[in-house]
Amino acid sequence: MTPPESIAIAWHELQEGASARVDFVVSAEELALFAALSGDFNPLHVDANFARCKGFTGAVVHGALLVAKISQLIGMRLPGRDSVWTGLTLQFHHPLYVGQDAEVEAVVARLSEATGMVLLKLKLRAGDTVLAKGEAEVLLVGI
C-alpha cells in the first residue's frame, strides 16, 4: 500500500483561524486491530454485550484511537508534513461507537514565529455531539 502524501504548509501560509478536518468511521475490524496493537482488550472496547451491560450503546472506541486520528490530521493536513507534536491536552465528554460517523477538526489558535510553534484547538464530533475537546502544540520544523 502506498501511503497518501502529506500536505506541506509553509510558515508564511499559516494564519490564525485556518482549519482542517478529517472525517472517519471506526469499523469493528479496525477496533480489533487497534486492541491487538495497543494490547488494550478491556471488554468495554472489544465486547459490545459487556459494554451494553455497563450502560453504553455498544463497544466504546479506544480514546487512543481517537488520538491517532488527531495525529493523522496534524501530520497529514494541518500543519502537515513538516510538523511534530510537542504537547496534547484532551478532555473526553462522550464515547464514540463502532460504525458512527465522526470528525476531528483543528483550528489554528496561535502562531509564534519566534519559536515555530502552532497552537491548535481540537474538537472531535459525532454528528452534533462533541466527543472531546483539547489543544495540540505543534512545532513546525525548518521554517
Q: How confident is the model at residue 142 (pLDDT cuts 50, 70, 90)?
A: confident
CA angle 92, 33, 132 (to 5 degrees): 10
CATH for 11-26+63-140? 3.10.129.10
The pLDDT tens digits for 48-80 are 999 999 999 999 999 999 999 999 999 999 999
Helices (H), 1-143: 28-38, 43-46, 48-53, 63-76
pTM of the model: 0.92
| Cell numbers given for 99 | 460504525
Domain ranges, ordered by start, for the chain: 11-26+63-140
Residue 79's Cβ-count burial label (10 Å; 0-12, 13-18, 19+) is buried
Measured distance CA(39)–CA(44) in Å, rounded: 14
The pLDDT tens digits for 18-59 are 999 999 999 999 999 999 999 999 999 999 999 999 999 999
Angle between helix 28-38 and 63-76 (nearest 10): 100
Range list of β-strands (E), the chain: 19-25, 83-92, 101-112, 117-126, 129-140
